[in-house]
Amino acid sequence: MVDLLKTSHVATAAAVVFAAFTTWIVGGFSHGTALKAIDDIVSVLLSVPAVFLAAMAARSSAGRLRAAWTAMAVGLLGWAIGDMLWAYYELALDEVPFPSLADAAYLVMPVAFGVALLLFPVGNSAQSRGRMLLDGLIVAGSLFLASWVMILNPMYQAGADSLQALIISLAYPVSDVVILTIAAIALVRVTQDQRLVLSLLTVGIACIALSDSAFAYLSLDNEYSSGNLIDIGYVAGLLMIMVAAAAGREGAHRPQAPVELPGWASIWF
């Protein structure tokens, strides 16, 4: 029997879906309500199997890895619920309030992903954990400064209809900075057998982070609607995470390789 959840099969399917979705969005093959409907449906149809793949990776794992993939599944479940709520608002009510319950569901993902990334196997010594924390604070400060100059400050200066809307708008890019920091630090410290998985996760998170920042900025002026070019980033990120989950499921039973602490040069490289 063919294993449909094999990494190569999931990766091939992901490539086909990404190519088709990108061609459809860029080519402008539909407009208006049809564009929104197809975009919303595709989002839901991708987020649900992403939860399933993460859950399967958790089921196949043990210890810290099981906890990590369980947290990933929780985060993806929040994303899926957010997609469903968004589709309901946009297609049934013809209006998406901002902020809304969908935002609360979406913001579950960065919190859960942050926990998951911290649980991936890295150096087990107190020295490793201490260095990871210190490196994380340094990189987070650098990323936050760059994010403030390019994204957060313009959003803050632009203002919002309410303080709540401004806080939610800022929550997206700020939370993305946090999880990207954790992912970057974990990537250089992760055990060799988990490096591919974490690399795929990091790329996926980065794609979602870029789209999140654009979404937050557009939402302040109510200029975002489904079918926007930034949705390509969301789809790419979700597909990368699905491939990572498939790879995590396959490699769950391989013996974990020891990890060596990298120097400062490799961190900054």
pLDDT score, position 139: 65
269, pLDDT greater than 90: no
Q: How far apart are CA 85 and CA 198, in angstroms?
A: 29
pLDDT score, position 209: 87
178, pLDDT greater than 70: yes
**Average pLDDT rounded to a whole number, residues 224-242:** 92
Who has greater pLDDT, 20 or 192?
Answer: 20
What's the whole-number average pLDDT of the chain?
Answer: 81
136, pLDDT greater than 70: no
Question: Which residues, at least 6 apart from 246, have a Cβ–Cβ distance to it below 8 Å?
Answer: 5, 6, 7, 9, 10, 11, 53, 57
pLDDT score, position 129: 54
**Average pLDDT rounded to a whole number, residues 5-26:** 93
pLDDT score, position 259: 45
Cα 223 from chain centroid (whole Å): 22
Question: Which residues, at least 6 apart from 201, have a Cβ–Cβ distance to it below 8 Å?
Answer: 117, 183, 240, 241, 244
Contact 39, 227 (CB under 8 A): yes
Q: Tokens standing for 13?
A: 């399917």
pLDDT score, position 1: 37
Compute the Cα dihedral for 42, 243, 107, 146 and give only its sign.
negative
pLDDT score, position 205: 92
pLDDT score, position 80: 97
User: 197-230 pLDDT, tens per residue?
Assistant: 999 999 999 999 889 878 777 776 677 778 889 9
Q: How much is the pTM?
A: 0.82
7-268 has CATH 1.20.1070 classification: yes
Contact 173, 230 (CB under 8 A): no
* Domains in the chain: boundaries: 7-268
156, pLDDT greater than 80: no
73, pLDDT greater than 90: yes
